[in-house]
Amino acid sequence: MPTRTLTATPGALDRWRRDTPGCRDRIHLNNAGAALMPQPVLETLTRHLEREAAIGAYEAAEEAAGRVGETYELVGRLVGAAARNIALVENATVAFSQALSAFDFRGGDRIVTTRTDYPSNQLMYLSLARRAGVETVRADDLPTGGVDPESVRRLARHPRTRLVAVSWVPTNSGLVQNARAVGLVCAELGVPYLVDACQSVGQMAVDVAELQCDYLAATGRKFVRGPRGIGFLYVSDRMLERGAFPLFIDMRGADWTDPDAFRLADGARRFENWEFAHALVLGLGEAARYALAVGSAGGERAWALAAELREQLAALPGVRVLDRGRERCAIVTIDVRGHDAPDLKLRLRERGVNTSSSDRDDGVLDMDEKRATTVLRFSPHYYNTEDELSAAVEVLAGLIRP
């Protein structure tokens, strides 16, 4: 796990910032929303769009087939998977719902999850409850915050448990749940395991073998620094060999072989759909290449910057840092007494500082426990500087001064 160090190899920080045109004029602390794309990603995207305009989109796709193939390799390497286990889809939510739809849930089946899982995932569980009578049970938290793997064990032992699903890093705080320990429990009990790693990939080491997960959903635009509108799903060999496929499979995922028969595509491709945003796919591949070149130093620096920021923010009058857990990542959330976070976000933006805000419905259970209705979220990445953090804190201090 990343340790607290602000060092970057000589020249690395300058290079990262030179490659990031967006950081010239703004202090971008919204990487958990969407990071700034590095120049090679932007160039890859625009080059492909230009080819589409020049020779036709289908023709440009055929021309780029080799590089599209390489994208699967690069994305796979980000999470320790082979290309055949990666499906490229529109976003993390689609990845997650495709995985969820591969289970034939029946009334009385159970999904074990956590108290801080992403709101859209919670809504999908609730929809399954309403449509199919599936029960969602939430494991207890540890006193320090984050799911208690022993509570998962107790719940997942229930004979009707069909799936354990965990958001590794929630959207509305810097908590890092112990996804590896939960994976161990799932492996011991033989229960399928779905990890939402949307906020994890790009800011921490992700290895599907270590997690022992069957599915892992993620997106391109956050800490991976890819474009918007593209995400991916890892599918384990175990699930592929079992014949898992999404409920609404389409003609990319299968061949219609006879009037009443179809044959599944090999590999995780069966979780994709036919229309494919080639420019975004190539952009994601380039972002993965960039992230692999930056390596673990990137996440270490992002976490260290966040730790520094937490200290500076905690020292401001009226500020309550809300991040819990033994491990805390590059997401910093605060409540500011007497101030509404969406309003502060806008006023910070007017002054050149990008942050974001979360509302109660981004994490009903977590927010209620913290007695917070809105939170202001800062999410640094490795290309941010210590000076940017101090400047952002100073701007906030000016805005909330009584």
Ligand X SMILES: Cc1ncc(COP(=O)(O)O)c(C=O)c1O
Q: Which residues bind ligand X (CB under 6 A)?
A: 91-93, 118, 167, 170-171, 196, 198-199, 219, 231
- Residues 371 and 319: their CA atoms lie apart, in Å, by 14
**Closest distance to ligand X from the beta carbon of 139 (Å):** 17
* Beta strand extents in 29-97 (DSSP E only): 86-89
**Closest distance to ligand X from the beta carbon of 120 (Å):** 6
Tokens of 322: 């809300």
Question: Which is closer to ligand X, CB of 116 or CB of 161?
Answer: 116
Question: Which is closer to ligand X, CB of 308 or CB of 366?
Answer: 366
Question: Which is closer to ligand X, CB of 114 or CB of 312?
Answer: 114
Question: Which is closer to ligand X, CB of 203 or CB of 312?
Answer: 203
Question: Which is closer to ligand X, CB of 64 or CB of 231?
Answer: 231
Question: Which is closer to ligand X, CB of 20 or CB of 91?
Answer: 91
- Residues 68 and 396: their CA atoms lie apart, in Å, by 43
124: nearest Cα among 217, 260, 212: 217
User: CB–CB of 225/35 below 8 Å?
Assistant: yes
Question: Which is closer to ligand X, CB of 20 or CB of 219?
Answer: 219
User: CB–CB of 278/55 below 8 Å?
Assistant: no
Sign of the CA dihedral with 243 first, then 246, 251, and 253 last: negative
- Residues 50 and 117: their CA atoms lie apart, in Å, by 40
**Closest distance to ligand X from the beta carbon of 92 (Å):** 3
User: What phi and psi values does residue 97 have, to the nearest 5 degrees?
Assistant: -70, -35
User: CB–CB of 174/332 below 8 Å?
Assistant: yes
- Residues 302 and 32: their CA atoms lie apart, in Å, by 11
Q: Residue with structure tokens 């080639």?
A: 278
**Closest distance to ligand X from the beta carbon of 332 (Å):** 15
**Which amino acid would we find at residue 289?**
R
**Closest distance to ligand X from the beta carbon of 61 (Å):** 23
- Residues 177 and 171: their CA atoms lie apart, in Å, by 12
**Closest distance to ligand X from the beta carbon of 196 (Å):** 5
**Closest distance to ligand X from the beta carbon of 347 (Å):** 22
